């Protein structure tokens, strides 16, 4: 698993040992960032200077990819300390520690945000129906700025109902993974 583009292109990422992690494949990650950069539904210049949240971060591949492509800052949220330790090591290897923060917390019961994200990635474990509870809890905790773009990766066999406060922008499928692109808040009306 490697960073696909940007200043850290081609750099390898570590995965935490002893954890059942399902990192987003390089090709799927490239496709997601292509949608973010080129879809007419996305805000202009979304990624440069974005404040990013990578929830259920695991290896941190999505957030580190965003940092490599010019995001201003990324908060990595995961409840497993081994994942946080690995995330920190990946950020350090990529010289991104100054633009990253690490929070050990459950995305379905997060603490209040200190600053909202303009771009967020959620990749909960498949088959546990965590997408909706996590989105609602993070929204309630102030983790999304009005108009924020939220990308949710979930098992394509798992249905996600309409979410109050979120507008469905686009959906893409890559193998078993389904990516749902949402807009949050005021700009969602």
Domains of the chain: 26-188 (3.40.50.150)
pLDDT in tens, 16-49: 665 556 566 778 888 999 999 988 888 888 888 8
Token match 């807009």: residue?
Answer: 183
Contact status, residue 170 vs residue 39, Cβ threshold 8 Å: yes
pLDDT band at 187 (very low <50, low <70, confident <90, very high): very low
Partnered with residue 75 across adjacent β-strands are 53, 101
The mean pLDDT of 121-147, rounded to a whole number, is 93
Helix, strand or coil, per DSSP, at residue 15: coil
pLDDT higher than 70, residue 181: yes
Residue 173 phi, psi (nearest 5): -120, 135
Residue 32 phi, psi (nearest 5): -60, -45
Helix, strand or coil, per DSSP, at residue 144: strand
What pLDDT does 152 receive?
A: 95
Helices 61-68 & 26-38 angle (0-180, nearest 10): 50
pTM: 0.91
pLDDT higher than 90, residue 6: no
Calculated CA dihedral for residues 65, 67, 69, 72, nearest 10 degrees? 150
């Amino acid at each position: 698993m490697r960073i696909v583009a940007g200043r850290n292109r081609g750099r390898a990422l570590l995965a935490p040992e002893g954890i059942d992690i399902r990192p987003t494949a390089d090709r799927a990650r490239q496709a997601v960032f292509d949608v973010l950069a080129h879809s007419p539904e996305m805000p202009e210049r979304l990624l440069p200077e974005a404040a990013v949240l990578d929830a259920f971060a695991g290896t941190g591949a999505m957030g580190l990819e965003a940092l490599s492509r010019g995001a201003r800052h990324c908060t990595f949220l995961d409840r497993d300390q081994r994942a946080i330790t690995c995330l920190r090591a990946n950020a350090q290897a990529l010289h991104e520690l100054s633009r990253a923060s690490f929070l050990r917390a459950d995305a379905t019961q997060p603490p209040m945000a200190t600053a909202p994200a303009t771009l967020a990635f959620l990749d909960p474990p498949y088959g546990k129906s965590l997408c909706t509870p996590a989105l609602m809890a993070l929204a309630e905790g102030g983790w999304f700025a009005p108009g924020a773009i939220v990308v949710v990766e979930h098992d394509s066999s798992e249905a996600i109902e309409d979410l109050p406060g979120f507008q469905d922008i686009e959906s893409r499928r890559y193998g078993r993974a389904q990516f749902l692109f949402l807009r949050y808040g005021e700009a969602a009306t």
